[in-house]
Chain A
């Protein structure tokens, strides 16, 4: 967690990115403390990638203040980049090189000696469980393996800050869990993680603190638990109705929950005691096809904040 005594690793005030007339990031403020795991949560097009690219010094800041590791990206990009690791949205792996060569040459870009680059490459291949594929070409690797290789590549310079743009998008559940496990270990070693995601479970698993972004702006900040407490109830009652049988009159839910969301396929009732709410509705003659009580998640926070479901 961030403690006020330490200076911020990343510091942004009024940070803005414009592409011509389009504003991708609109005057956002945030600070990331050393050692914390910080997330940008939001739907596609919210401005997460643009923000992370600015932090990674591959996208010039249009307006506002940004310092990374206490340095200005405009003036000191190479020095900043020498201390950070980047996992971009698409794995830009070098298809003309083998798995191990990808890591070695990347180490050389950071001015490591050949011997040191080779040593770290072997170590990292073990870390991401690709040791047996060291001599393989990159092309035939599965999506999950390529992603793991990209993560290994981002660690070759032993970065103090790791930027991950949608690290698990497009991966199957097994590959995602393996990646989460590796990221969790890095976090334990004290690496600061900054990641973007549109997966709630990912944000809840990995982030100490996160900002919710929507339409180029930050709409909320806090730990996953704080955000849920602040913007949702303890529990959610989810009701599904057969097609055309959903109650047309919303007033039937009155007084049962502190908030009601009617989505196209289901109704969400926010209440601290979901079971009690279900009993009341049953007494009122509401007969859903299925009924489920669950704990609130960031999905609910996002819905509350933006009025939209995160994954549409």
Chain B
């Protein structure tokens, strides 16, 4: 039996995260229509708000003194907020169901999979879905003639970063959720973020000190990041936005890892 250590493979935590993604792909192979349908919602919003309301608004004056159409202005904001909403959805309801009801993770942890694989795998899955939608959204923008700067291709990793930050924090929050009704609190946070994060209008609408406060909220960071890429107005601020979202996601990931270990390895 002493030879067992040579039979059993050496192992690094986190490396089996891909297996969890494989499981999710298996599930969605049958319900792919659900996956595809997620692409349409942000595009509907883009049409309604960018063009419908955009026709009422008139051009938006940028800090650079340049004017852009409202649709061009609002599109990156909608991309950022849909990245947030998608990540939150994937990392809250779905995770809660698997964690508390289906006991999916309990079964996984009886295999060589470790808690870190579960945490990394679920967040990576949310990112994969989010990336697909971000690419779809950019294609829709191109068809609608809303591309202004070539830098917008970087909005795809940008949207992934927003997805990472919110998926990690959303999943961390979910580990404290006990009942479905507790999810109301998640909306208490995400709805104001969606509505007030300078998504629909320039942050200059707000008087100080409100403006500073809003600029420090996470979705505003994401919106500003994607907007500067979309409009080609990239400055050094972009590093702050990236660092902010990266730290938020990493902190969330560490919390998820610890909390899942507490919940699943009792």
Contact = CB atoms under 8 A, between A and B. Distances in A.
Touching chains A and B, CB distance < 8 Å? yes
Contacts of B5: 70-71, 76, 79
Interface string B86-115: 000000000000000011101111111110
A88 B110 CA distance: 9
B8 A80 contact: yes
A111 B9 contact: yes
A95 B4 CA distance: 34
B264 interface: yes
A83 B9 contact: no
Given A70-B5, A92-B104, A97 B26 contact: yes
Contacts of A53: 266
A60 B1 CA distance: 23
Nearest to B106: A92
A95 B265 contact: no
A56 B109 CA distance: 9
Given A58-B264, A78-B114, A82-B9, A92 B4 contact: no
A109 B19 contact: yes
A93 B107 CA distance: 7
Interface residues of A, number: 39
B98 to A, nearest CB: 9
B11 interface: yes
B26 A78 contact: no
Most central of B27, B107, B109 by chain A CB within 10 Å: B107
Given A79-B9, A101-B26, A59 B266 contact: yes
A180 to B, nearest CB: 22
B1 A70 contact: yes
B148 interface: no
Contacts of A76: 5, 8
B112 A60 contact: no
B1 A34 contact: yes
Interface residues of B, number: 31
A108 interface: yes
Interface string B9-26: 111010010010011001
Contacts of B264: 58
B7 interface: yes
B112 A111 contact: yes
B2 interface: yes
Contacts of B106: 58, 88, 92
Interface string A59-73: 110000000011100
A82 B8 contact: yes
Among A90, A108, A153, the most chain B Cβ lie within 10 Å of the Cβ of A108
A132 interface: no
A105 B111 CA distance: 11
A109 B111 contact: yes
Q: Is the interface of B mostly helix, strand, loop or mixed?
A: loop
A24 to B, nearest CB: 10
Contact of A105 (B7, B13, B22): B22
B2 A109 contact: no
A83 B265 contact: no
Contacts of A101: 26
A247 interface: no
Given A70-B5, A80-B8, A109-B113, A95 B102 contact: yes
A121 to B, nearest CB: 13
Given A81-B112, A92-B104, A105 B23 contact: yes
A133 B112 CA distance: 27
A198 B104 CA distance: 26
B110 A105 contact: no
B260 to A, nearest CB: 12
A270 interface: no
A7 interface: yes
B30 to A, nearest CB: 9
Contacts of A7: 1-2
B4 A69 contact: yes
A101 B265 CA distance: 26
A286 interface: no
Contacts of A34: 1
A60 B19 CA distance: 24
- Which 3 pairs between the two chains have the least Cβ-Cβ distance? A79-B8, A109-B111, A92-B107
Interface of A: 6-7, 9, 19, 34, 53, 56, 58-60, 69-71, 76-83, 86, 88, 90, 92-97, 101, 105-106, 108-111, 153, 157
12 contacts: A60-B265, A71-B4, A76-B5, A78-B13, A82-B9, A82-B112, A88-B110, A108-B22, A109-B112, A109-B113, A110-B112, A111-B16
Interface of B: 1-2, 4-5, 7-11, 13, 16, 19, 22-23, 26-27, 102-104, 106-114, 264-266
Given A81-B111, A88-B107, A105-B26, 17 more contacts: A6-B1, A34-B1, A53-B266, A69-B1, A69-B8, A77-B114, A80-B8, A88-B110, A90-B103, A92-B107, A93-B107, A94-B107, A95-B102, A96-B27, A108-B19, A109-B19, A109-B111
